[in-house]
Amino acid sequence: MNFADMLRGATARNHSLLCVGLDPELGRFPVAMRGNTRKIYGFCARIVDATADFVCAFKLQVACFSAYGAERQLERLIEYIRRTVPHIPVILDAKRGDIGSTAVQYAREAFERYDADAVTLSPFMGFDSIAPYLAYPDKGVFLLCRTSNPGGDDLQNQRLADIDGQPRLYEHIAHLAQGPWNRNGQLGLVVGATYPQEIARVRNIAPTLPLLIPGVGAQGGDAAAAVRAGLRDGGAIIVNSSRAILYASEGTDFAIAACKQAGRTRSVLDEAQ
């Protein structure tokens, strides 16, 4: 089953547009686990168990594991998701962006070592940096387009003077992803919940692409506005929340608190449809 099919299936099965981001930060762990690198897998597995009935995907941030030397725990966590909730797709949030043999190795890392169903990439180096990932036809590839951080304006919101209509850079990326770059129908776009008007522009340009929408919760994005801006027939959305769910409690009840917060977030997204 390819990524698109998995996403549709999980969305329908759990009646959910919610993606839980698994971004472990040791300093924010429950008090009894705080600062202990050996607890990363156990903490994240508990979150998976607590939230699996509320999500359409899990997104795992590579840096939050590799910074602690916890790549093996990342592998174990993906294996655990595969074993316990195999119908839920795994998105590896890596934001890679390189070319040639290096890009080939990054693609192997994402799809062979970690067995992710999709990966996030930076398209700044052009199609050359994306092509190696498209050699895995059952996988999804999300390109950074209009990200949730304020600094995204530095480049993404700039107009391209030598192209007809002077589109902004993020709009041009959306055109490429919807059109010539999407050779196998694998591409999606990352658009931040903090910019609902830009989500709507991207959706108009790319009506059929899945949109991965971070920035809900701790970053202050409006979940309902993001759904209204991005959800269209034929174009899936995946609304990610990480810290607001992971760190809903500092106590031993952290998994219960995460479950409740995931349920509340799913309800907000559902009501906005």
SS3 36: coil
Taking a C-beta distance cutoff of 8 angstroms, is the pair 223, 193 a contact? yes
**Chain segment 192-243, per-residue pLDDT in tens:** 988 899 999 999 999 999 999 998 765 667 888 999 999 988 899 999 999 9
Beta-carbon neighbour count of residue 138 at 10 Å?
Answer: 14
Indicate the Cα dihedral angle 258, 110, 138, 104, nearest 10°. Answer: 160
CA atoms within 13 A on the CB side of 71: 8
Query: Which are the catalytic amino acids?
Result: 95
Check: pTM over 0.85? Answer yes or no: yes
Q: N- to C-terminal Cα distance for the chain?
A: 27
Instruction: Give 3-state DSSP helix, strand, coil % of the chain, rounded to 5.
Output: 45, 15, 35
The pLDDT, as a whole number, for residue 153 is 67
| Domain boundaries 3-271, corresponding CATH code | 3.20.20.70
